[in-house]
């Protein structure tokens, strides 16, 4: 029996190498749920035993009533049928609980793995796709794996276990009936696959359509205020309708295949049962005398076999009903597998920085690349040591932000970038980040109140301490104008504050840290002249005992810096003190003239 199914399934599950690999990966994830999967299969087998017992009781009772015309044991039979029905209901309930737990365990572990992988790959990799696609992967695509683990995977075991059990009790009654069941069983999965051969492709297109819709919708929602400001919301509504219509069309294509597959399964199951019923009927009426081992067929034998026949095909029909779950899971897992298989450093072999040694950074022929391998800036050569204040200047697009993100370890690189003699790629992120204070150009604050934002970094800070930090960046008076003051809610995109206020709030929180190196990207870009002077003074004061690397367009402030790196087309073309760079014809002087 098992070899018959193996041959059939080997033939009908012919898939390309990519699909085979995805299926192998999906099945490997179930190892974390071996116990609930085993319990689910065991409970399913127990249901099969109960089905056989119920069929036996019904066939025996009917034979006694119809043939022997005896009603002595009817009450006992009804009692046991009731007991078995209740037991079957409880086992079915337990089977559902454990089968759901299989998918729940896998989904939870996958979501944790995706978040961990994104954390390890860094924010620059996360920006290679729209936020809507990542949210779709974490929510919808992972959720689409549930039925594969809770339904399809256990059913693959049931489709062998239950029919085998039934054949064991059918063959002693009639070898012809057993042979009919054995030979017709493979027809159902065979035609199921033939009908649903396009299901995998349709599911893949459906998943891609969902990703596009999620990314497009999330992007338009985040920019809704801008769309309304420029009266573009009507045209975007039309585009959203178009993308949604594509998703609807893909969804209906998948459903059409699912319904067609179910109809075919029902048809062949009905034909097979009808064939068996005809054989049993002619045998009982003595038109046929074959298959019952030379014994006259009894009403019990005929009814017993006929009652078990639908249950024999039921696992196969359920497998067909869940077949679309396999196609859906394969399509949904493709992007997940691509992400989780991204190589990440072996943290066990990586180094840590010494707390006692001052920081020193040296770049030699350093080329920063994106996550697709394209060179962004470089080759660069520079040296920074703790206590030095460095400004990076250059036109927009010259590579200043990429350089800072490269120092933070957000991009892969070629060449050499060492921190205290250790390659940055061989340095544990936690050890490196403990030495840094970072202020991006568009800081994202944690969702919560202003008071909670400070408390995340320094839980013991008092309200007076918070007001002191806000005063340093010139934000105290602005916050006092809000009715909620320190209880004002701030979202991840600083909603509730202006751009400049959000930037200064992030600076106030950053000032709580005492780190050897401060990295800031255009820290005064969204501020007026008065606040620019205040923030610049705060930054310089913060860098006295440590040091900083700051990108800026504020050329009037560069005299306070120890060194200036001038960038052009992804390279540092000049570096040195302002007094050295301030010569006629230098790139630095050209940039300064343009600034004025």
Residues 380 and 269 in one domain: no
Residues 460 and 576 in one domain: no
Which CATH number covers residue 407?
3.40.50.300
Which CATH number covers residue 29?
1.20.1560.10
pLDDT of the residue at 8: 46
Residues 257 and 398 in one domain: no
Residue 387 falls in which region: left (phi positive, over 0), alpha (psi -120 to 50) or beta: left
- Is position 353 within any domain? no
Residues 6+ apart with CB under 8 A from 561: 389, 390, 391, 550, 578
Residues 365 and 306 in one domain: no
Residues 379 and 282 in one domain: no
How far is 354 from 216, CA to CA, in rounded Å?
46
Residues 534 and 500 in one domain: no
- Residue 215: strand, helix, or coil: helix
- pLDDT tens over the chain, length 596 residues: 444 444 444 444 445 577 788 888 998 898 888 899 999 999 999 999 999 999 999 989 888 888 877 776 788 888 999 999 999 999 999 999 999 999 999 999 999 999 888 888 877 787 777 777 788 788 888 988 998 999 989 988 898 899 999 999 999 998 998 898 888 888 777 766 666 555 666 666 766 777 777 777 777 776 777 777 777 777 778 888 888 888 787 778 777 776 777 777 778 788 888 888 898 888 888 788 888 887 888 888 889 999 998 889 888 888 877 877 787 888 788 888 888 888 776 666 678 888 778 899 999 999 999 888 899 998 999 999 998 999 999 888 899 999 999 999 888 899 999 999 999 988 888 888 888 888 888 887 777 888 888 888 888 888 898 898 888 888 888 888 888 888 888 876 655 677 778 888 888 888 888 888 999 998 887 777 777 888 888 888 887 778 899 998 888 888 888 999 999 999 999 999 888 888 757 888 887 655 55
pLDDT of the residue at 330: 84
pLDDT of the residue at 167: 92
Residues 113 and 172 in one domain: yes
Residue span of the structural domain in which 6 resides: 2-337
Residues 267 and 378 in one domain: no
Query: Both tokens of residue 466?
Result: 């918070």
How many domains does the structure of the chain reveal? 3
pLDDT of the residue at 596: 52
- Is position 352 within any domain? no
How far is 561 from 578, CA to CA, in rounded Å?
8
- Is position 168 within any domain? yes
- Is position 372 within any domain? yes
pLDDT of the residue at 134: 81
Per the CB < 8 A criterion, the answer to whether 34 and 105 are in contact is: no
Query: Both tokens of residue 317?
Result: 């029909």
Residues 31 and 161 in one domain: yes
Residues 51 and 174 in one domain: yes
- Is position 117 within any domain? yes
Residues 488 and 529 in one domain: no
- Is position 101 within any domain? yes
Residues 51 and 25 in one domain: yes
- Is position 350 within any domain? no
pLDDT of the residue at 193: 65
Per the CB < 8 A criterion, the answer to whether 91 and 49 are in contact is: no
The size of the chain, in residues, is: 596
How far is 135 from 346, CA to CA, in rounded Å?
27
Per the CB < 8 A criterion, the answer to whether 20 and 27 are in contact is: no
- Is position 441 within any domain? no
How far is 241 from 249, CA to CA, in rounded Å?
12
């Amino acid at each position: 029996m098992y070899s018959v199914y193996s041959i059939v399934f080997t033939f009908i599950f012919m898939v390309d190498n990519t699909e085979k690999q995805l299926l192998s990966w999906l099945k490997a994830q179930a190892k974390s749920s071996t116990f609930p999967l085993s319990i689910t299969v065991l409970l399913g087998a127990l249901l099969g035993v109960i089905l056989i017992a119920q069929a036996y009781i019904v066939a025996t009772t009917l034979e006694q009533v119809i043939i022997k015309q005896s009603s002595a044991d009817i009450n006992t039979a009804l009692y046991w049928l009731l007991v078995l029905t209740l037991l079957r209901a409880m086992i079915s309930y337990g089977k559902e609980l454990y089968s759901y737990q299989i998918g729940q365990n896998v989904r939870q572990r996958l979501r944790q793995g995706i978040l961990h992988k994104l954390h390890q790959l860094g924010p620059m990799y996360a920006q290679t796709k729209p936020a809507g696609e990542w949210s779709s992967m974490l929510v919808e695509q992972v959720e689409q794996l549930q039925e594969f683990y809770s339904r399809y995977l256990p059913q693959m075991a049931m489709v062998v276990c239950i029919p085998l059990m039934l054949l064991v009790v059918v063959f002693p009654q009639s070898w012809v009936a057993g042979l009919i069941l054995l030979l017709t069983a493979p027809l159902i999965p065979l035609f199921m696959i033939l009908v649903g051969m396009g299901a995998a492709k349709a599911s893949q297109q459906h998943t891609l359509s969902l990703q596009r819709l999620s990314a497009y919708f999330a992007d338009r929602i985040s920019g809704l205020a801008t769309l309304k400001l420029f009266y573009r919301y009507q045209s975007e509504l039309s585009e959203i309708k178009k993308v949604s219509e594509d998703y609807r069309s893909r969804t209906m294509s998948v459903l059409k295949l699912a319904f067609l597959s179910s109809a075919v399964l029902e048809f062949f199951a009905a034909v097979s049962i009808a064939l068996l019923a005809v054989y049993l009927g002619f045998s009982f009426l003595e038109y046929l005398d074959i298959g019952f081992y030379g014994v006259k067929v009894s009403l019990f034998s005929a009814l017993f076999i006929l009652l078990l026949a639908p249950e024999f095909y039921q696992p196969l029909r359920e497998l067909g009903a869940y077949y679309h779950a396999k196609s859906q899971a394969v399509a949904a897992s493709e992007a997940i597998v691509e992400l989780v298989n991204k190589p990440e450093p072996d943290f066990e072999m990586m180094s840590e920085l010494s707390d006692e040694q001052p920081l020193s950074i040296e770049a030699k022929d350093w080329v920063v690349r994106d996550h697709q391998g394209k060179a962004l800036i470089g080759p660069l050569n520079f040296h920074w040591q703790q206590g030095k204040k460095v400004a990076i200047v250059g036109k927009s697009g010259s590579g200043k932000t990429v350089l800072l993100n490269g120092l933070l370890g957000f991009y892969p690189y070629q060449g050499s970038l060492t921190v205290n003699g250790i390659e940055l790629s061989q340095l544990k992120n936690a050890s490196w980040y403990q030495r840094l204070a970072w202020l991006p150009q568009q800081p994202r604050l944690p969702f919560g109140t202003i008071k909670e934002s400070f408390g995340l970094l320094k839980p013991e800070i008092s309200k007076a301490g918070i007001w002191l930090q806000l005063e340093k960046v010139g934000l105290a008076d602005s916050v006092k104008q809000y009715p909620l003051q320190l209880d004002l809610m701030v979202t991840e995109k600083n909603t509730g504050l202006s751009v400049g206020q959000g930037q200064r709030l992030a600076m106030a929180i950053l000032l709580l840290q005492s780190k050897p190196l401060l990295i800031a990207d255009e820290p005064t870009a969204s501020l007026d002249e008065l606040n620019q002077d205040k923030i610049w003074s705060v930054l310089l004061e913060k860098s006295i005992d440590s040091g900083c690397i700051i990108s800026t367009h504020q050329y009037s402030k560069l005299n306070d810096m120890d060194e200036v790196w001038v960038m052009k087309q992804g390279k540092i073309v000049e570096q040195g003190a302002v007094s050295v760079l301030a010569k006629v014809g230098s790139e630095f002087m050209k940039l300064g003239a343009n600034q004025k």
